[in-house]
Amino acid sequence: MTERAAIGLREELERLEAAGRLLRIPHEVSPRFEVCAYAAESGPERAVLFERVAGSDHPVVMNNTASREVIAASLGIAPERMAERYLEALVRPIAPLVRPASAGPAAIHEVTYTGDEIDLLAQLPVLTHHEHDAGPYLTSGVVIGEHEGARNLSYHRMQVRGPRETGMVVVQRHLHRMLDAADAENRPLPVVVALGLDAGMLLAAGTSGSAAPYGFDELGIVGALRNTPVELVPGLTVPIGVPSCAEIVIEGHILPNTLEPEGPFAEFDGNYESGRERVFRATALTMRRGAISHGLATGSTSQLNIMGLPNEAVILRAVRAVVPSVDRVHVTLGGLRKFHAIVSIDKRIEGDPADAIVAAFAGHRDLKQVTVVDHDVDVFDAFAVERAVATEFQAHRGLHLFHRGRGNPVDRSLAEDGTTSRIGIDATRPLGLAVRVPAVVPGRDRVRLP
Ligand SMILES: Cc1cc2nc3c(=O)[nH]c(=O)nc-3n(C[C@H](O)[C@H](O)[C@H](O)COP(=O)(O)O)c2cc1C
Ligand SMILES: [Mn+2]
C-alpha cells in the first residue's frame, strides 16, 4: 500500500465514507449548540457531515480528527503506523509549490467576496459551542502567516463580532513572533485563514514548536504526508500563499497594537476564559462552489488529537536516538495526549528502559509519566499495558523519579514554583527471563456460536 494522505476535505470524506467512518446528518441542525451536541454524542469512531445547517448553504464537517482510526483513514495509513509516518514527514518534508499560471484559476477562488461584500456570519456557518460562550466562534481556521521568508501555520480562535471583524487569540508562539515585528512598525500583519481542511493539514498546523521550530514550514509536513507538494495560489488581497486545497479562505490583517475585550469562551481544559485580545479584519472571503466548512469543539478528542498526536513522532525520534530498538509510542488520550506515554522496546541490554525513559522526557518536556514495555505488548491496548505493569514491574528496581522539571501551566497539580515531578515505569521483563508460552484453547477457530 502506498501511504498517501487525502488531498483536501472532499477526498478525505470519500475515503471516510468508503471505510464506514462517515455519519451523515441529513436533517436541519442549528449552528447554535446543536451541531456540537450531535458531534459530541456521535463519539470518536466516525466523522460527522451536517448536510443542512440552519441559516447557511454550507455543510459542516466535525469529528474528522476524533480518533486515531479516522485520522489514519484520511492519511492512508494503518492506525498504529501514525507516529512512524509522521516522523518520516518531519524528517523529510516536501516544500509547497506555487500553482503555475498556466493551470488556470484555482477552485478556492470560484466564489469571492471582497471588502464590504463580506459578511462572515451571513456567508459562513459559524458555530456556537458551549453554554456560556460569548457567541459564534471560528475555532478550526488554520492561520497562515509569513515573515522574512518564514511561514507558519497555527490555530487562533476567532470571535465573529461584525461582518468583517473578529477577535483573535494569539498566544506567545510563532505567529506572535511575526506579530511582534509588525507591531514594532505599527503595520497590520497580513494573514490567511484556511477552513475546511483534511486531517494532514490539521495535524501539521497543530504541531508544536518543539517538533517544528520557528522557520520550519508546517506545509512541508503536509507535502510529505501526501507524497506531493501542497499547492499554493496567491491571495487576492494579501501577499500570502493560499493552500488551494482549502474549502474556504478568509484573507485579512491582524491590527497592530490593538487589544479588545474577547470571550468568554470555554477552553480545552473546560474553563471559560476572557480577556483583551487581538483584532482581525477580513479583506476577502473566497471559497469553492458548495464549500464544506469544518467545526472543532475545544476540549474534544478532535482537538486533543490535533495538538497531541504529533508528540508521538517527537518522542519516537528522541527515544530512537538512544535506544534504536524502540518499537512504538502511544501518547494516551487520558493523559490529554501530552502528559503520559507508553513506549515499547526490544530490550537488548539492561539499561535500555531507563535510558528510553530519560530520552522520552527530554524529547517532549510536557511528559510526566512514561511506561516502558516489551515490544510484544501492544502499546495501544490499555489492558495489555496494565497487565505488563502488574506482572513485570517492581518499584524497587523499575521506578524512576525525577523532580523539579519544567511544568506545563495547564497542569494544576504543579508545585508552587511551577515545577513538576516525572515518573518512569520500567515494566519490561528482566533479560534472560523466558517469555511465557501463552495458554491457548485448541479449536476456538472452529467454534460457531448460535
Ligand atoms: C482547535 C484548536 C484551537 C486553538 N486555539 C488557539 C488559540 O485560540 N490561540 C492560540 O494561540 N493557540 C491556539 N491553539 C494552539 C496552537 O494553534 C498550537 O499550539 C500550534 O501548534 C502552535 O503553532 P506554532 O508552534 O507554529 O506557533 C489551538 C489549537 C487547536 C488545535
Ligand atoms: Mn510553527
Ligand 2 ion local residues (Cβ < 5 A): 152, 174
All cell numbers assigned to 292: 464544506
Could you tell which of 154, 193, 216, 277 is best to mutate to test the pocket of ligand 1, judged by most ligand atoms within 8 Å of the CB? 154
Determine the distance from the C-alpha atom of residue 153 to the mean position of all C-alpha atoms in its chain, rounded to a whole number.
Answer: 11
Output 382 or 2, whichever has higher pLDDT: 382
Residue indicated by cell numbers 470524506? 13
Task: Count CA within 13 A, CB hemisphere, residue 362.
Answer: 12
* Per-residue model confidence (pLDDT) at position 409: 85
CA of 199 to the centre of ligand 2 (A): 17
**Distance from C-alpha of 330 to C-alpha of 326, rounded to nearest angstrom:** 12
Phi, psi of 214 (to 5 degrees): -50, 135
Could you tell which of 155, 178, 207, 208 is best to mutate to test the pocket of ligand 1, judged by most ligand atoms within 8 Å of the CB? 155
Determine the distance from the C-alpha atom of residue 400 to the mean position of all C-alpha atoms in its chain, rounded to a whole number.
Answer: 30
All cell numbers assigned to 359: 530520552
CA of 145 to the centre of ligand 2 (A): 10
Lowest mean pLDDT among 27-41, 305-319, 431-445: 431-445
Residue bearing the CA closest to ligand 1, atom 15: 155
Give the position, in ligand 1's atom list, of the atom nearest the Cα of 140: 1
* Per-residue model confidence (pLDDT) at position 438: 85
CA of 138 to the centre of ligand 1 (A): 13
Inform me whether the pLDDT recorded for 330 exceeds 90. yes
* Per-residue pLDDT tens over the stretch 225-261: 999 999 999 999 999 999 999 999 999 999 999 999 9
* Per-residue pLDDT tens over the stretch 172-220: 999 999 999 999 999 999 999 999 999 999 999 999 998 999 999 999 9
**Distance from C-alpha of 191 to C-alpha of 194, rounded to nearest angstrom:** 10
* Per-residue pLDDT tens over the stretch 353-375: 999 999 999 999 999 999 999 99
List residues near ligand 1 (CB under 6 A): 139, 152, 154-157, 169-171, 173-175, 206-209, 296, 303, 306-307
Inform me whether the pLDDT recorded for 75 exceeds 90. yes
Residue bearing the CA closest to ligand 1, atom 6: 156
**Distance from C-alpha of 154 to C-alpha of 259, rounded to nearest angstrom:** 20
CA distances to 243, 379, 384, 440 from 387, in Å: 46, 11, 5, 18
Secondary structure class of 422 (helix, strand, coil):
strand
Residue bearing the CA closest to ligand 1, atom 14: 155
CA of 143 to the centre of ligand 1 (A): 9
Q: What global pTM score does this model have?
A: 0.96
CA angle 144, 337, 192 (to 5 degrees): 10
Superfamily of domain 9-299 in the CATH hierarchy: Electron Transport, Fmn-binding Protein; Chain A (2.30.110.10)
* Per-residue model confidence (pLDDT) at position 270: 81
Compute how many other C-beta atoms are within 10 angstroms of the C-beta atom of residue 409. 7
Residue bearing the CA closest to ligand 1, atom 21: 206
Give the position, in ligand 1's atom list, of the atom nearest the Cα of 170: 11
**Of the CATH numbers 3.30.70.100, 3.40.50.450, 2.40.110.10, 3.40.1670.10, which one belongs to the domain with range 323-426?**
3.40.1670.10
Residue 130: pLDDT band (50, 70, 90) is very high
CA of 204 to the centre of ligand 2 (A): 9
CA of 156 to the centre of ligand 1 (A): 6
- What is the per-residue DSSP string for 241-267? EEETT-SEEEEEEEPTT--EEEEEEE-
C-beta separation of 154 from 146 below 8 A: no
Enumerate the domain spans of the chain: 9-299, 323-426
CA of 306 to the centre of ligand 1 (A): 10
Inform me whether the pLDDT recorded for 1 exceeds 70. no
Residue bearing the CA closest to ligand 1, atom 28: 155
**Distance from C-alpha of 142 to C-alpha of 191, rounded to nearest angstrom:** 10
CA of 302 to the centre of ligand 1 (A): 13
* Nearest CA-CA partner of 191 in 102, 114, 282, 82: 282
Residue 68: pLDDT band (50, 70, 90) is very high
